[in-house]
Amino acid sequence: MTAEIIGTYAVALCLLIGSGFVAVGVIGLLKFNDSMTRLHAPTKVGTVGIGALLLASIGHSFLLGETSIHELLIMAFLFVTAPISANFIAKVNIHLRACETPPPPPRDDAWSTLSTPDDNDETV
Domain positions in the chain:
3-123
Q: Is the pTM of this model over 0.75?
A: no
Mean pLDDT (the chain, rounded): 80
Ranked by mean pLDDT, the top range of 12-16, 33-37, 42-46, 77-81 is: 12-16
Spatial distance between the Cα atoms of 12 and 18, rounded to a whole number of angstroms: 10
Q: Is the per-residue pLDDT at 102 higher than 70?
A: no
Between 83 and 52, name the one with better pLDDT: 52
| Cβ count near 12 (within 10 Å) | 13
Between 97 and 110, name the one with better pLDDT: 97
Radius of gyration of the chain (CA): 21
pLDDT of the residue at 124 = 47
Q: What is the pLDDT of residues 109-123, one digit of tens each?
A: 545 555 555 555 555
Q: Which residues contact 40 (CB under 8 A, 6 or more apart)?
A: 28, 32
